[in-house]
Amino acid sequence: MGYGNEIHSSINGRIYKQMQYRFFENIVKFLQDTGLTTKVILSENEKADDDSEIKVSDLTKEGFTFYPVGIRKWIEKYDKSKEKEKAINDFASSKKSLRSLKLKRVHN
């Protein structure tokens, strides 16, 4: 009795964790592909795990400036989304934020 709920909860927990890893991988890929990191955080086929992290020192000056307006907003959008899979792969708002940041730098 009750084992079904434990199994369901365990499966949901693993699915959630895998989604979080994929989201982190997408964030890192975006930052690396746009030159906002000082080093390779995850190599091309490397998967995120519990030890994966982004440190302030991993970000360029522009990356550090971009993180709150581009990445945090992406995370907020993901948190509010009913379609988590779609939100994980939606780079549009981050790309737009990066373009805006670069335009501000050009005009200043």
Please tell me the predicted confidence (pLDDT) of residue 12.
80
How do the domains of the chain map onto residue ranges? 3-107
Q: What is the pTM of this model?
A: 0.81
Please tell me the predicted confidence (pLDDT) of residue 9.
62
Residues with Cβ within 8 Å of residue 100, at least 6 apart in sequence: 69
pLDDT < 70 positions in the chain: 1-11, 103, 105-108
The string of pLDDT tens digits covering residues 84-102 is 889 888 888 888 888 887 7
Please tell me the predicted confidence (pLDDT) of residue 95.
87
Residues with Cβ within 8 Å of residue 26, at least 6 apart in sequence: 88, 89, 91
